[in-house]
């Protein structure tokens, strides 16, 4: 492995949303709402929770885990290229 190769154990990966407890998944949904919908000048970004959760259930948004940062968050499936 040369220095340009990253450690695959440190790469982000998708976590099956069904494996995450409902309260933790809702926390990720709320974080997504405040981060992305709060920037759209919505009066109440939390009103988007139902739509965001539905997008997670449909697979349009997925749960990403970043072991290097030890963080999780929601994002589009296309984030795999990042």
Is residue 3 over pLDDT 50? Answer: no
- pLDDT tens-digit readout, 26-80: 999 999 988 876 556 667 767 889 999 999 999 999 999 999 999 999 999 875 4
Top-level CATH class of 12-81?
mainly alpha
Q: What is the pLDDT of residue 10?
A: 82
C-alpha–C-alpha distance, residues 72 and 58, integer Å: 19
Q: Where are the domains of the chain?
A: 12-81
Q: What is the pLDDT of residue 76?
A: 92
- How many other C-beta atoms lie within 10 A of the C-beta of residue 32? 22
CA distances from 25 to 17, 37, 63, 78 (A): 7, 17, 9, 20
- Give the residue, 25 or 82, on which the prediction is more confident: 25
- In 1-82, the DSSP E strands lie at 13-15, 61-66, 71-76
Q: What is the pLDDT of residue 42?
A: 60
């Amino acid at each position: 492995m040369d220095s340009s190769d990253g450690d695959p154990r440190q790469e982000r990966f998708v976590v099956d949303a069904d494996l995450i407890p409902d309260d933790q998944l809702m926390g990720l949904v709320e974080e997504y709402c405040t981060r992305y919908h709060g920037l759209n000048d919505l009066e109440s970004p939390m009103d988007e929770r139902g739509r965001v959760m539905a997008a997670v259930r449909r697979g349009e948004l997925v749960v990403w885990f970043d072991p290097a940062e030890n963080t999780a968050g929601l994002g589009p499936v296309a984030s795999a290229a990042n």
